[in-house]
């Protein structure tokens, strides 16, 4: 029987993924509005990924005969100083998510809940990839600073990356 403390944290994680989805969708809207077409597409796809992350936990809870409790979604920020400011916020959000996943793994191990620990390993690898990806975007944006040409090129690269991911 799964411990209540783990169910509670899984529910919190599910809702955190929901919040991330909503944040990335809002970020996509801001990028689109500001003419960063590639970033808008990239973030919209990422919104869909976060929805899948949320659904995985939802399904896991259902599979183990628990009722997922969907909370109200936190209203995301909708205004950003710049593209770099937006992606820094994005990267920080991913770091928080990784920390929460690690806390969950630790709890699952402490409670000897090896099924949940195993289930969480997918998230551990996913977070590693996501942090790496957003860190590299922030690094590129730091390199180009406020150069319009540089921002155009990073945005174009995100568009290409998005198209490449969608082809696979
Ligand atoms: Fe679901 Fe980007 O963490």
pLDDT at 167: 87
Helix, coil or strand: residue 141: helix
**What pLDDT is recorded for position 7?**
98
| Domain 4-167 = CATH 1.20.1260.10 | yes
Which atom of ligand 1 is nearest the CA belonging to 54?
Answer: 1
pLDDT at 168: 79
pLDDT of residue 36: 98
Q: Is the CB of 94 under 6 A from ligand 1?
A: yes
Q: Which residues contact 130 (CB under 8 A, 6 or more apart)?
A: 94, 97, 98
Distance 143 CA to ligand 1 centre (A): 25
Q: Judge whether 126 and 103 are in contact, CB under 8 Å.
A: no
Per-residue pLDDT at 79: 96
Q: What sign results for the dihedral spanned by CA atoms 64, 130, 94, 40? A: negative
The helix (run of H) or strand (run of E) holding residue 142 is: helix 114-144
Residue 104, pLDDT score: 98
88 lines ligand 1 (CB under 6 A): no
Question: Buried b vs exposed e over 89-119: b needs ≥16 C-beta within 10 Å?
Answer: bbbebbeebbebbeebbebbeeeebeebbeb
State if residue 89 touches ligand 1 by the CB under 6 angstroms criterion. no
- Both tokens of 132, joined, read 């790496």
Digits of tens for pLDDT over the chain (168 positions)? 899 999 999 999 999 999 999 999 999 999 999 999 999 999 999 999 999 999 999 999 999 999 999 998 899 999 999 999 999 999 999 999 999 999 999 999 999 999 999 999 999 999 999 999 999 999 999 999 999 999 999 999 999 999 988 887
Q: Which residues of 67-80 are buried (b: 16+ CB within 10 A; e: fewer)?
A: ebeeeeeeebeeeb
Domain boundaries of the chain, sorted by first residue? 4-167
**Helix or strand or coil: residue 68?**
coil
Radius of gyration of the chain from its Cα atoms, rounded to whole angstroms: 17
């Amino acid at each position: 029987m799964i411990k209540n403390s783990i169910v509670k944290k899984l529910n919190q994680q599910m809702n955190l993924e929901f919040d991330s989805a909503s944040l990335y969708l809002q970020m996509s809207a801001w990028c689109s509005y500001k003419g960063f077409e590639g970033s808008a597409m990239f973030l919209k796809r990422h919104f869909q990924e976060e929805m899948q992350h949320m659904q995985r936990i939802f399904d896991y809870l259902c599979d183990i005969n628990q009722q997922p409790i969907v909370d109200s979604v936190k209203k995301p920020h909708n205004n950003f100083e710049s593209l770099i400011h937006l992606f820094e916020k994005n990267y920080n959000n991913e770091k928080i998510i990784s920390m929460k996943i690690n806390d969950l793994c630790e709890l699952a191990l402490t409670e000897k809940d090896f099924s949940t620990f195993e289930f969480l390993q997918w998230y551990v690898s996913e977070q590693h990839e996501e942090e790496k990806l957003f860190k590299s975007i922030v690094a590129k944006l730091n390199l180009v600073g406020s150069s319009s040409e540089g921002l155009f090129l990073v945005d174009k690269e995100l568009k290409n990356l998005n198209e490449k991911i969608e082809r696979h």
